[in-house]
Homo-oligomer: A and B are copies of this chain.
Amino acid sequence: MTADMNRQWRVARYPKPEELIGKAHFEWTSEPIAKPADGQFLVRTICLAPVPAQRGYLEKSHHSFLENLAIGEVMRGRGVGQIIASRHPDYPEGSIFVGSLGWQDYSLQHPRGAEFVFSTKKIKNPLRPLSMELGILGQAGATAYFGLLETGQMKAGDNVLISGAAGGVGSAAGQIARIKGAKQVVGITGADEKCRWLGDELGYDATINYKTENVGERIAELFPDGIDVFFDNVGGDILNAALGNLAMHARIAICGFIATDYSPGPHHGPINYQCMVYKRARMEGFVVFDYWDRYAEAEQDLLNWHNEGLLKNTEDEDEGLENMPAALASLFTGGNIGVKILRVSPDPDVLPQEKFK
């Protein structure tokens, strides 16, 4: 299972605006496994999580929150791994580690903070599966947590709508809204199977299948008093429909806009932003990286909720580093239920804390 060479996906070309990202934009290469210098350690990748924002690393655009990757660079991406060689006293061999491992089998690392996507962390008491550190206990969970509770200022009694509800972030957001006492949590997704899962497994009060239902009419039916908080992963017509059905002083947390990320343009913005005046509503963009200082707060809550059985972890796992471009593409075609995870190597048989039991 462990390769003797370090296999890597490197950036080959940038996608055109309307193009679905995939294998054609990456080059599959390999090189010898590097050795850690003083202060470094070598991590073997266990799993990676593709996220929609990764497409943005391959866009030449004035709209970006991270530096674009150059052609030939190893693709950036967060992952969980195990330290297999170390020249850093605080990061001993055997430790479980989360950080920007890149799309590769092995990476040299050193401790980093500052920005979520680059930040590194040694996990003291990792839970199985380790991939949860990329999902509900990691970036997906924290994005949902801060977007819903900080940007969206969701309070008990609120009527909450979530788009992209069956994705990694959306499925966490809906559960957190339930935990925090929402009056009603409604999820929008694109398949009846996903709608059933949201209702039966995650406790959503109602769902809308945007492929088969009239989203605007259904929102109006389900929210006779209007939407208090809309957590939007999607944009496009769904955002517009939501803006037409706001409650007074509504909050719209803009997490992403996957609806327009590669579909043919021209794309238009939501004309119903005008309703924000009538409803004195607020729309705000956020990026989870900004909350790195407060990550411990989210982590503790997410972990407690998970341990209490209130926050379920659902993963949609693909296997094999060679399938990473396809795993990323699947996010844009609605392929996943829950957090998309790509397994690169198995979870270790014995975790560090189990050694000393």
Contact = CB atoms under 8 A, between A and B. Distances in A.
A284 B285 contact: no
Nearest to A245: B62
A356 interface: no
Contacts of A268: 268-269, 271
B286 A277 contact: yes
A29 interface: no
Interface in A231-290: 235, 240, 244, 254-257, 260, 266-287, 290
Chain B CB within 10 A, most for which of A235, A281, A285, A287: A285
A215 to B, nearest CB: 16
Contact of A278 (B65, B244, B279): B65
Contacts of A269: 240, 268-273
A244 B61 CA distance: 11
Contacts of A282: 282-285
Report how many copies the assembly holds.
2
A260 to B, nearest CB: 8
B283 A278 contact: no
A276 B285 contact: yes
Contacts of A62: 244
A357 interface: no
Contacts of A273: 254, 269-270, 273, 283
A64 interface: yes
A124 interface: no
A277 B270 contact: no
Contacts of A290: 280
A254 B278 contact: no
Contacts of A271: 260, 266-269
Contacts of A279: 285
Q: Say which size band chain A's interface belongs to.
A: 35 or more
Contacts of A294: none
B240 A274 contact: no
Chain B CB within 10 A, most for which of A62, A277, A279, A284: A277
A240 B268 CA distance: 10
Contacts of A284: 276, 280-283
A63 interface: yes
B280 A64 contact: no
Contacts of A270: 269, 273
A266 B270 CA distance: 12
Nearest to A271: B269
Contact of A281 (B255, B272, B285): B285
A286 B282 CA distance: 9
Interface in A272-312: 272-287, 290
Nearest to A286: B280
A265 to B, nearest CB: 9
Nearest to A270: B269
A273 B275 CA distance: 15
A283 B282 CA distance: 6
Interface in A94-121: none
